[in-house]
Amino acid sequence: MTEKTTPEKSSGLAPGMEASFSTLVLSIASSAAMSLGLAPNPASGQIEKDTELARFNIDLLSMLAEKTKGNRTPDEERFISTILQDLKMKFIQGS
């Protein structure tokens, strides 16, 4: 009997990881945090600050928030609002 290949198994993703609004927000926010120098680049292990890329990712999250307004659950609303507020404050503090 052959084992079924799921997207998780073929991509090496952790079990239980699924595509969702929160996962998308977290992915973009992680990129912004790395660009702000708040987290190391996983590929190099180094802190790499790039304020233009950070601004792009924050703007991307803002656009996502605007385009999904009225279609989010209360938890998703709190999640994206909190992350955006935090990233914007960190951007201002780091500028």
Q: What is the pLDDT of residues 2-29, one digit of tens each?
A: 444 444 445 566 677 789 999 999 999 9
| The pair of three-digit structure tokens given for residue 36, joined into one six-digit string | 């702000």
Specify the long-range contacts of residues 32-37, CB closer than 8 Å, at least 24 apart. Answer: 32/57, 32/58, 32/61, 32/87, 33/87, 33/90, 36/87, 36/90, 36/91, 36/94, 37/94
Tell me what pLDDT residue 5 has.
Answer: 46
pTM confidence score: 0.79
Residues 6+ apart with CB under 8 A from 82: none
Predicted confidence (pLDDT) per residue in 68-88, tens digit: 999 999 999 999 999 999 999
